[in-house]
């Protein structure tokens, strides 16, 4: 792949003299460049939403979301995947982040691993990929062999495939069923795609995981109603959510959460419908896990 023609590899005219800049000048120009990034994402919103719809549909069928990438892109995918269980109360197997070179590459660069096209498919096969899963490949350049190999294998398995790239008309865009292309332009440090490219990739991943989880009932209003309570801060957050939605005092919120075996969503339905736990769980089952739907069913 020829790097010279890639937007992410070209020189930024604003920072030709970067090595002569003061620290304030460096962070100022970085801030100015970063300020453009939300607008760079905007043209891709329809495709981002389509990816989120595919993923939420996959979740409802028991499918999974796989992120694949190398280097910074791979680490960002693993990061987003690792934050889904505590935020949305899902199994770690529901959203899986794969990085070229394996977990070692999260802390220690394994730069040549991205060149192994066959490894992409092998890593997915090791997770027993099925047609119900969705595979999202991430690469600033759009030409990472590891990711292309994974997307190719996923297509052969009948999966929906999505690419997230920071260059237009890349090889990954040609392979994937759906291409999300966000072009942030030249980096302030030429070719350092952990900067603007990494930022827009994180923005897109935030959108994909959040939208897909909300669509399957992991939020009520704008609260995380399946938040896991694994520390004191999260215990208090859970209580605050129940208090805000139902209007009960903290002691009653905690009692309901405990009665619901720690399930915030169930506690909310119990309190708002004056139900015991079994009935609240039944209402949620009928509403496929959506609190708003469960409340509607209760009022029918």
Could you confirm whether 221 is annotated as catalytic?
no
Determine the Cα–Cα distance for residues 8 and 192; give it in Å rounded to an integer: 8
List of long-range contacts for 280-289, beta carbons under 8 Å, 24+ apart:
287/217, 288/60, 288/216, 288/217, 289/216, 289/217, 289/218, 289/265
Task: Give the pair of three-digit tokens for residue 56.
Answer: 């939420």
Cα distances from 213 to residues 68, 126, 158, 161, 172, in angstroms, run: 19, 25, 23, 18, 25
Q: Which of 2, 32, 93, 114 is catalytic?
A: 114
- Quote the DSSP letter at residue 114: G
**How many residues make up the chain in this entry?**
300
3-state secondary structure 182-222: CCCCCCCCCCCCCCHHHHHHHHHHHHHHHHHHHHCCCEECC
Catalytic-role residue among 57, 83, 177, 252: 83
204, 48 contact by CB (below 8 A): yes
Give the chain's radius of gyration (CA, Å). 22
216 phi/psi in degrees, rounded to 5: -100, 15
Q: Is 244 a catalytic residue?
A: no
Helix (H, G, I), strand (E, B) or coil at 224: strand
Range 199-223 burial, b when 16+ CB lie within 10 A, else e: bbbbbbbebbbbbbbbbbbbbbeeb
Distance of alpha carbon 96 from alpha carbon 94, whole angstroms: 6
Give me the active site residues, please.
83, 114
């Amino acid at each position: 792949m020829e790097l010279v023609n890639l937007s992410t590899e070209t020189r930024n005219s604003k920072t030709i003299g970067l090595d002569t800049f003061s620290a304030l000048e460096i962070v100022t120009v970085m801030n100015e460049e970063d300020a453009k990034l939300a607008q760079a994402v905007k043209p891709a919103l329809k495709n981002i939403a389509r990816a989120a719809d595919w993923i939420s549909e996959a979740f409802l069928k028991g499918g999974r979301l796989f992120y694949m990438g190398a280097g910074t892109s791979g680490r960002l995918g693993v990061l987003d995947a690792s934050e889904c269980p505590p935020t949305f109360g899902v199994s770690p197997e529901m959203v899986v982040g794969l990085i070229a070179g394996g977990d070692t590459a999260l802390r220690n660069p394994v730069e040549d691993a991205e060149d192994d096209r066959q490894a992409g498919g092998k890593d997915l096969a090791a997770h027993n990929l099925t047609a119900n899963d969705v595979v999202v490949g991430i690469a600033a350049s759009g030409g990472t062999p590891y990711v292309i190999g994974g997307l190719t294998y996923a297509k052969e398995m009948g999966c929906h495939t999505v690419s997230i790239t920071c260059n237009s008309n890349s090889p990954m865009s040609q392979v994937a069923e759906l291409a999300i292309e966000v072009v942030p332009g030249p980096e302030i440090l030429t070719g350092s795609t952990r900067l603007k490219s990494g930022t827009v990739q994180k923005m897109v991943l935030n959108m994909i995981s959040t939208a897909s989880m909300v669509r399957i009932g992991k939020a009520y209003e704008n609260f995380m109603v399946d938040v896991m309570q694994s520390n004191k801060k999260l215990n208090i957050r859970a209580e605050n959510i129940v208090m805000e939605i139902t209007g009960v005092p903290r002691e009653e919120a905690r009692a309901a959460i405990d009665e619901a075996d720690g399930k915030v969503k169930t506690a909310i339905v119990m309190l708002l419908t004056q139900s015991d736990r079994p009935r609240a769980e039944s209402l949620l089952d009928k509403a496929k896990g959506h609190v708003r739907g469960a409340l509607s069913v209760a009022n029918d």
